Every structure is written in C-alpha cells, then in structure tokens.
Amino acid sequence: MKIQHPLARSLVTVSNWPFFIDLGIGACALAIFLAIVHTCMYWFEHPVPVVPISTSFAALPVYAFYSIGRMCIAYVLSLVFAIAYGYTAAYNRRLEPWMVALLDILQSIPVLSFLPPVVLAMVALISGRQLGIELGVILLIFTGQVWNLAFSFYSSLKSIPREMIEASRVYHFSGWQRFWQLEVPYATIGLVWNSIVSVAGGWFALIFCETFTMGNRNFQLPGLGSYIQKATDQGNVRALLGGIAAVILIVVATDQLVWRPLIAWSEKFKFEQVESAERITSPILTLLRRSPVLSSLPGRIFSSIEEPVFRRLAQSAETRCVRPLDRRSGQKTSAWLWTLAAASAAVAVWAVAEGAFMLRTVTWPDLRLLFAGAAATFLRVVAALIISAAWTVPVGVAIGLNIRLARIVQPIAQILASVPATAFFPILLIGLVRIGGGLGIGAIALMLLGTQWYILFNVIAGAMSIPSDLREVASLYHFTRWQRWTKLILPGIFPYLITGMVTASGGAWNASVMAEYSHVQGQTLQTIGLGAMIDAATDSGRFALLLLATIMISLIVVTMNRLVWRRLYRLAETRFKLEG
Amino acid sequence: MQEAVVSNAPPVTASAAEAIIRAEKIEKFYAQPSENRIQVISATDLTIVPGEIVALLGPSGSGKSTMLRMLSGLSTPSAGQVYWHGKPIAEAEINVSIVFQSFALFPWLTVLENVAAPLQARGLPPAERRERSLKMLDTVGLDGFEAAYPKELSGGMRQRVGFARALVVEPEVLFMDEPFSALDVLTAENLRSELLELWSSKTMPTKAVFLVTHNIEEAVLLADRIIVLGRNPGRIRTDFRVPLPQPRDRKSEAFTQLVDYIYKVLTRPDTAPAEVPGPRVRDQRQMRYQMLPHARPGGMAGLLELLLDKGGRDDIYRMADDLAFEIDDLFPIVEAAQLLGFLKVEEGDAVITPAGEDFANSEILRQKELFRDAAQSNILLLRQIRRALETKSDHTVPAEFFLDMLDEQFSEEECERQMDTAIAWGRYAELFDYDSGRRRFIMPDSQEEEISPSEDRL
C-alpha cells in the first residue's frame, strides 16, 4: 500500500515569502487572539452550569453519539471552509502570498494552546450556556482540522496539469463545470488522505476538550472524553476501560467503514496514465456498488439538479469566449481589497499596541518562569522525539524488512496512530499518581503516547520501500551490520523518518498543553513548562501571561519548522529520494 | 534544384476577408526586472484560411506551442492582435478544438463522459449529448468503448478519444499540438492516415486544421502548407505550399526532396531578423552567453564517431533517418558539436573538422582533454566558472552567482537548463565538480589533476 504524507509535506511547505508578510500575518493572528481574549475578559463572570456525567455503560452510546456528532459538524465545516480558502488562495493573485503564509503559520501552531481562551470566549458570546461550550469545542476542532485540508486543496489546484486547464478553457467550461469535473476530482485523493489525518487530530483534541476543566469551573460536555475523565476521577477502572474501548471501536470502525471505502473509491481520481497493479480494495465499497439503488440514485439526483444549471450557464458570456490563461485578472486592485487591507492593517496595529499595553502587568519573575518553561517543554519534546525514534527505528525496520509481518502490522500501527492518545492519558495519570512520580518526567511519557505511532508506521513504510536489489547488493558484498545501517537502511528510511518526526513533533507540542497540567482525582498535577503555564494562566485569569505563553509556543514551533524540519525535508526530497 | 520545387509553388497570400484566424504582428516576450526583455516570439503575421491543413514546424524553443495558444485564444500576445473572422479573438465567440500531446483527458470520466463534456458546457440536453458523442465515437472507431475509463485504453485509443472530443463540437479550426508524438511509430502512422481520410472525405465538420509538430516527415505527409519557425526568438523562416497531391508516398523523389529542403532551411545559419524599432529588444545572439544546446558529451562523441565512419560528411536528414531520431533529438547534438568546433554544417550536411576527427579517434581520457580545451576556448560560461574557481581562495563558488548572470538573458526555466548543461559538460571535462546539495561549484580534487597529466605523458 502506498503511504501518502500530505500533512507533513504541507507542514514544511517550501515557500520563501518575504519576511514582512510573515510579520504582517503574525500581527493579524495576534489581533484575532486578542479579540478572543478581550471578549472572554469581559464576560468572565458568566455562570455556567455543570452537566452531571454518568459513568454507567448504558450512557456510553449516547455519549459516543454526542462526540461523533461534534466531530462530524466540525469536519463538514472545515471541509467547506478549506475548499473556499484553497480556491481563493489559488485564484486570487494578490491574496495568494498572504493566504499561503497564513496557512503556513496556522498549521504549525499547536491548537490546544488556544483551547482555554476559545472556550471562554464562546461561552461568553453565546449566553445559551451549553451551546457556547459546544461551539467553542467545535470551533477548536475545526481550527485543528482545517489548515492541512485547505493546504491540500490549494496545492492540488496549483498542480493541475496545464493541458487539462487548457482543455477546460478551449471547450468553454464554465467555472461550475471546471469545479466539478476538473478541480474537485483532481483534489479528491489529497483531501481524503488529509481528512484521515485531520480527523485523527480532531479526536485527539475532542477528547481533551470534553475533559476540560479550569480552576473551580468545569466546562465538561457530555461525551466520551468527559466519561473517561469522570471514570478517572472516581477511580472506576471498569468504566474507564469501557470508555477507552468505545473510543478505539469508533476509530477502527471509522477506518473500516469510512476511510477504506473512501480511499478505494478515490482511486478512480488518481491521475495516472496506466492502471496501477496494486489497488486498495474495500468490501464495503464493493457491497455499496452492487446495490442497484445506491449506484444509480445519486447520479439521477445529481443530474436533475445539474442540468438546469448547465443550461443556464451555457447562455452566459463566460462560456461563450475562450478566456486566455495569462490575462492579468484585475490589473487594478479593487476597492474592497484595499479596504480589507487597510482594515486589517489598522486592526493589526491596534492589536500590537494593545498587546504591548497588556504585557505591562507581566513581571520579571513571570518572564523568568516563561523562559524556564519554554526550555523545559522544548527539552521534553526533544526527549520524546528521541525516545520514540530510538525504539521505533529498529523495531520498524525489523518489521518493514519482513514483508509478511509488515502486511499485518502496518495497518495496525496506522490505526494506533489515529487512536487519540488523550484517551489514555487518564490511565497514565492514575499510574503516575500511584507511583508518586511527578509530571516532570510523566509529561514525556504522555507525549510519547501520542507521538511514537506516527514515527513507527512511517519507518515501517520506509523500510518496505527500500528496493530489494539494493538489499541484495548489501548482502552480496557482505556489508557489516554498521555498513548496512549507515549505507542502506538509514538513508533509505530517511524521508519517511523525517515525515514521521515532523508530524510527531507537532503532536508533542500539542500534547504539552495537557500533559504538563492535569486535574486527577481532585488534585492538580503540574510541572514547569509552557503548556502548564498556559493552563495555569487561564485558571488564574492572567491573560497577559496566557498571551505571552501562547505567542512563545507558536514562535518556537514556527521557528523549529523553518530552521530544522524544512531543511531536513528538503534534504530528504533531494538527496535521499529513492527514484522509481 | 530543391529550391525550385518550392519557389514554383503558389505564394501564400490569403485575403484577410476569408481568413478564419488572422494574426497581426503578434509577439511574445517576458519583461525582466532590468530594462531588457526576453523575446520568445518576434512580430509575426499569420493567417488560417478555410480548406487547408497548416503545419507549424520548428525545433524546440522556437515557440510553436506558444504560437498555437495565441492563435487559439488561450494566451494573449504581448503585442499585436489575433482576429477571429475580423473580430478581436478575446471578444469573439470562437469555436475551436485542441488535440493535446498528453491527450488531456479527464481520468475520472468515462470515454463517453469525456467526449460529452464539451457539449455539456454548451448546455445541450442529455439525450442529444449522448447521441452526438456516440456518433463521434463511432466515427473515430471507438464503438463499444464508451463505458471504459481512459486509463484502461492504449495510447492510440486515448488519442482517438481526444480526437472525438475535439470533433464533437464541430470546430471551425482544429488545433493539434504534437498529437502523435506520445504514440509509438505504428500507431501514429495509423492515426495520421485515418485523420487524412476523415479530412479528405469531409466527414470532419472542420474548415481548417492547424498542426504543430517537430516531425518533418509528418508535416510533409499531412500538410497543404508548411510554416517553418526559427528560434531565438521564434519567427517564421519560410512559409510555403506543399505541391504534392494526396495520398503522398514517403518514398517518392519529390517527397524526400521536400524533406531535405526543410532540413536545409533548419540548419542554414540563422540570419538575424531586421532590428525592430521601439523599446530595447535584445535577442539572445547579441548577448554575452551563447545558448548551450542541451546535448550530452557522450552523444557528441557518438555522433562524431558515426560521422567519421561515413567518411567525415553526411546528410543530417539521412543520419536522423538512420538513427530513427527526430529533429529535436539530433539538432542539439549537432549544434553542440558545432559550437565546440568539432563539426561544421554546410548545405544540410554535417562535415567533421580536424579537431572533431582528433576527438573521435581518441580514447576516453584524451577525449576529455580535447573536450576541455574546446569548451574552455569556445564557451564563455564554462571559462568563467573555471576562472572563478581558480581565483577564489577556497576554490568553491555558489551556482547562484552564475544563475544571476544568466538571468539577464534567459527565462528562469531556460537558466536552469543552461546551468544543468554547463554542469554536465564541466563535469565531463573535469573543469569543475558540482555539489548539488549545497548548489556550489568546486574545484576537482587536486590529486586527480596531478595524475591525469602524468598519464598523458605515457
């Protein structure tokens, strides 16, 4: 099976936008963040009732339903938004550099660091209580899912072969027809693979969001996350295991019932000249295709909607002339674009001033703590990455070189990678509390839980991709073990390893927010770290510190991506690429 | 004598009124950040009149495809205007089709849906779409394939779908962009004769065909009129009618004479077009850097050895035929050898020079040395790179430095290709080595430098 790595690739997109664009984008992001913080400061005292959470098994299906519902709403929203965003970015030349730079930054920022302020803001905005938290959570999952989908759609649009576009122009396709017959089909495969990654990330965030507590206030929503959290609080191991089993069941079922049929179906959109020998099959899809109603009904419904649209569009001027591809669209920037630019500039200036004003309450000890926290979290992320790589590389290679074993293990590792680690956090926390270990080391274990699977399944894929003739050469010339590793295996898996590490490092930063600060069985576990500071600052309502910590975490992640991962990725794409 | 064949042909004059497409002084150039601009196609007049198949022939880099796109409204000329029945093409309701080299079929649509898609764009009801598409599929010989997906078909079949899609809209002008070059020889030949059949039997509802190709024989076989483009910048070198009746016989004397004539036109030394008044237009021959043909040193050695076997002189056309090369494969090699002073081109014949003879007769190390001398004395870019490496204390220079200089006269894409060629030649000649990871030129190991002269003394 061919593994695609859409997420990691989009994380280290090669774009050399001028520095000032990044600065501008940063200022705009700051403005949005401040707007959120302001709203929630204003409404801080608003009361929120706590929904009682039951831990009986009978309640599980209902909770699972709630969680899945939230996921679905968030996913549909992100898909729609991603397509609109990608489309605009690809076709509006003036907005393009800004929108891509914004994507680049937003998709590397750990979303969970925004959870506290976002939930507070949404609760404040919508006084219908429950709805506020719901929307906050959905908005958060949406933010976590949308960027890589948008990037995937954008880069698909950008890579449509020129002759295909020319064909659509010369045959007078309308924008509508081009969208459905060229652009969407061409982008489908990328969207499907990115959706898998996105939804896995969504579950991670959802479980965490549902367990979200802040100081004395509890924002729990009925759902699988809160079920697990409650079970943990009560020390009810049976309920806890039941909750985790439900999460795993949902993930596995999604994989089998949704993703595999989707992947098999999307094979049709593969842009290839000859039919590939290896095809992904899905019994479910075969079943659906056999059903006479299902195979003809959607077509009929679609065409009854479509036909009038096409007839109408054929009358319009757009489809009568051939539009040249290289005509500058709108030489003059339209008025609304200028207004938009001016407005965002003004807001950005306001935000920087406001932010600076707000930061005056930050004291020197705070700053010292912040830098110490940044260093601690950074070290933890690095440690988690090193430990994951240290065990997954030998194990993954051993599995990957054994084809029969790999066929069995790889899908399992892939599913494990999409089981939200957040579901296991409570167990680990209980263990930590029992042993009496602090979160200082425990946080690393929590990060590991979330990150190692990405690396494992990438390494397996990498080892599988090493051509057998190269392996034969190695054994023919009696390579020593050292030579085998340094000359064959490590260079061979390098691109895959980097891909896994990029994804894992994003996950680790995200996990830091919940790994470093937790409420378990009535006590608060906490250690030094940026993630802990974000939580603590939200708990105590110190928004200046929250702002600073969030900026800090974003800066570190973006800088790391630019300085380390992007370079390694370029190296992997050029020197260590196994051709053909 | 061959010249006579052509000059007897009626001159190409079409009254502007009857032309379907008329291009007036169309140009294509890219503005550079600095004042000068890169001219791709210099001001050209061209008409497409009903009832003829026009072939646009030229080497790579002559802007054939750009010309096709300007004439079909897909690309706007940088200057000049294209008219469709006397109306500016951007405002006219034009009805043309393009058959693409890569077929450009939608892989997710079935054969029938692919053919019906342009009709859908015209708002035809489903029943009529189906009927017309099926009829067209029948015409091109694809009966029974309507439910297949393009990737299930062979290349030839796929191009038939391409033709069906192009013809189903009953275009006034059918554009073809190297439609047969992605196919194998037999399939291509088969499709060509079927196309001619459709055209001559008027089954095709098309008034004119415009074919872009780099295959000379294809042009002579199909076209009523051939336009030969020169390059740097692209411009018309000759435009003539083909006086041969259809069907044409590739083996006939008149046919081969015509092919030979076109070869001569293509290999004749370029005469610069008259200087265009107006803004500074610099074309590449007035520039510092020569345009390096994209040929490999090994290819040159092979060609020279072959030439030596033939007694030092051979017809380029015959060589291409012997090697089953198309002009785009052979010309760069000939030009590169010419640039290095290893051969001369006289009247469509390649003639080996003494230096070329020496090169062809030598063994590999000596060949490299001869190549190095020839490259250093004839090619400015290679000489500059070597000098820079010698003068710098650390003996490395970033490629960026030279790209910046090339940038002044070549398009971005061409710069990269020039650099790639220079790197291949320089590496072969052991003038320098190149670290692709750091994108830097480096001096070859001094050790090797010491060894190679000593070997030469033996």
The verdict on B75 touching A (C-beta cutoff 8 Å) is yes
pLDDT of residue B273: 47
CA-wise closest residue to A152 among A105, A194, A89: A194
Check B74 against A169: CB less than 8 A apart.
Answer: yes
Q: Which of B66, B99, B122, B400 to mutate to probe the A interface, most A CBs <10 Å? A: B122
pLDDT of residue B212: 93
Residue B96 with chain A: CB contacts under 8 Å:
170, 322
Cβ count near B127 (within 10 Å): 8
A550 vs A355: CA distance, rounded Å: 12
Residue A163 with chain B: CB contacts under 8 Å:
100-102, 104
pLDDT of residue B9: 43
Judged against a pLDDT cut of 80, whether residue A4 lies above it is answered with: no
Instruction: Tell which wins on pLDDT, B74 or B231.
Output: B74
The arithmetic mean of pLDDT across residues B318-343, rounded, is 83
User: With left for phi above 0 and alpha for psi between -120 and 50, is residue B29 left, alpha or beta?
Assistant: beta
Check B436 against A303: CB less than 8 A apart.
Answer: no
Check A172 against B97: CB less than 8 A apart.
Answer: no
pLDDT tens per residue across span B68-87:
999 998 888 888 899 998 88
Residues 6+ apart with CB under 8 A from A293: none
Q: Percentage of chain A surpassing pLDDT 90?
A: 6
The arithmetic mean of pLDDT across residues A174-185, rounded, is 88
Instruction: Tell which wins on pLDDT, A259 or A286.
Output: A259
Check B73 against A172: CB less than 8 A apart.
Answer: no
What residues does A523 pair with on adjacent strands?
A520
Judged against a pLDDT cut of 50, whether residue B452 lies above it is answered with: no
What DSSP element (H or E) covers A86? helix A60-91
The arithmetic mean of pLDDT across residues A398-404, rounded, is 85
User: With left for phi above 0 and alpha for psi between -120 and 50, is residue B374 left, alpha or beta?
Assistant: alpha
Token pair in block for residue B210: 């415009």
Strands B208-213 and B173-177: parallel
Judged against a pLDDT cut of 70, whether residue A40 lies above it is answered with: no
Judged against a pLDDT cut of 50, whether residue B2 lies above it is answered with: no
Measured CA to CA in angstroms, residue B15 lies from A561, B50, B243 at distances of 64, 11, 20
- Quote the DSSP letter at residue B231: T
CA distance B83 to chain A (A): 13
pLDDT tens per residue across span A319-359:
667 777 766 544 455 677 788 888 878 887 887 777 777 77
Average per-residue pLDDT in chain A?
A: 77
Q: Which of A164, A182, A324 sits opposite B75 (nearest CB)?
A: A324
Average per-residue pLDDT in chain B?
A: 82
Nearest CA in chain A to B153: A274
Judged against a pLDDT cut of 70, whether residue A248 lies above it is answered with: yes
Looking at this protein, which amino acid is placed at residue A329?
S
Angle at A119 between CA A128 and CA A422, to 5 degrees: 125
Please name the residue that has the structure tokens 């680990």: A428
pLDDT of residue A21: 66
Nearest CA in chain A to B120: A310
CA distance B329 to chain A (A): 23
pLDDT of residue B225: 93
The arithmetic mean of pLDDT across residues B232-258, rounded, is 86
CB A478 within 8 A of CB A25: no
Q: Which of B26, B108, B174, B176 to mutate to probe the A interface, most A CBs <10 Å? A: B108
Measured CA to CA in angstroms, residue A186 lies from A192, A283, A322, B118, B447 at distances of 11, 25, 22, 18, 54
Token pair in block for residue B192: 């060509």
Cβ count near A218 (within 10 Å): 17
Least confident of A108-117, A376-385, B11-20, B441-450: B11-20
The verdict on B120 touching A (C-beta cutoff 8 Å) is yes
A131 vs B4: CA distance, rounded Å: 89
The arithmetic mean of pLDDT across residues A469-492, rounded, is 86
Token pair in block for residue A115: 């959870």
Q: Using beta carbons and an 8 Å cutoff, which residues of A are at the interface with B?
A: 161, 163-164, 166-167, 169-174, 177, 181-182, 185, 268-275, 303, 307, 310-315, 319-322, 324-327, 571, 574-575
Cβ count near B306 (within 10 Å): 16
Check A324 against B74: CB less than 8 A apart.
Answer: yes
The arithmetic mean of pLDDT across residues B170-191, rounded, is 89
For residues A428-464, b (16+ Cβ closer than 10 Å) or e, as one string?
Answer: bbbebbeeeeebeebbbbbbbbbbbbbbbbbbbbbbb
B11 vs B241: CA distance, rounded Å: 7
Q: Percentage of chain B surpassing pLDDT 70?
A: 88
Q: Where are the alpha helices (DSSP H) in B379-445?
A: 380-391, 399-406, 412-428
Judged against a pLDDT cut of 90, whether residue A564 lies above it is answered with: no
CA distance A309 to chain B (A): 9
Residues 6+ apart with CB under 8 A from A355: A30, A34, A547
Residue B102 with chain A: CB contacts under 8 Å:
161, 163
The arithmetic mean of pLDDT across residues A182-203, rounded, is 87
Instruction: Tell which wins on pLDDT, B113 or B326.
Output: B113
pLDDT of residue A76: 92
Nearest CA in chain A to B88: A321
Instruction: Tell which wins on pLDDT, B309 or A293.
Output: B309
Token pair in block for residue B300: 């040159």
The arithmetic mean of pLDDT across residues B106-132, rounded, is 90
pTM for the structure as a whole:
0.79
The arithmetic mean of pLDDT across residues B318-335, rounded, is 81
Token pair in block for residue B351: 């003639």
pLDDT of residue B71: 92
B315 vs B266: CA distance, rounded Å: 13
Residues 6+ apart with CB under 8 A from B372: B429, B430, B431
Confidence of residue B56 (pLDDT cuts 50, 70, 90): very high
Check B107 against A327: CB less than 8 A apart.
Answer: no
Residue A173 with chain B: CB contacts under 8 Å:
117-118, 121
Confidence of residue A1 (pLDDT cuts 50, 70, 90): very low
Judged against a pLDDT cut of 50, whether residue A111 lies above it is answered with: yes
Nearest CA in chain B to A573: B437
Confidence of residue B131 (pLDDT cuts 50, 70, 90): very high
Confidence of residue A418 (pLDDT cuts 50, 70, 90): confident
The arithmetic mean of pLDDT across residues B217-240, rounded, is 88
For residues B425-454, b (16+ Cβ closer than 10 Å) or e, as one string?
Answer: bbebbbbbbbeeeeebbebbeeeeeeeeee
Cβ count near A237 (within 10 Å): 12
Instruction: Tell which wins on pLDDT, A29 or A369.
Output: A369
pLDDT tens per residue across span A423-480:
777 777 777 777 766 677 778 888 888 788 878 888 888 888 888 888 888 888 888 8
Return the SS3 of B311: coil
Residue B82 with chain A: CB contacts under 8 Å:
none
Judged against a pLDDT cut of 60, whether residue B287 lies above it is answered with: no
- Please give the ipTM for the structure prediction: 0.78
B141 vs B139: CA distance, rounded Å: 5
CA-wise closest residue to A565 among A435, A345, A381: A381
pLDDT tens per residue across span A127-159:
555 667 777 788 888 888 888 889 889 988 988
Judged against a pLDDT cut of 70, whether residue A9 lies above it is answered with: no
Cβ count near A120 (within 10 Å): 29
- Counting one residue from A and one from B, how many pairs have CB atoms under 8 Å apart? 106
Of A270-274, B312-316, B447-451, where does the model show the most confidence? B312-316
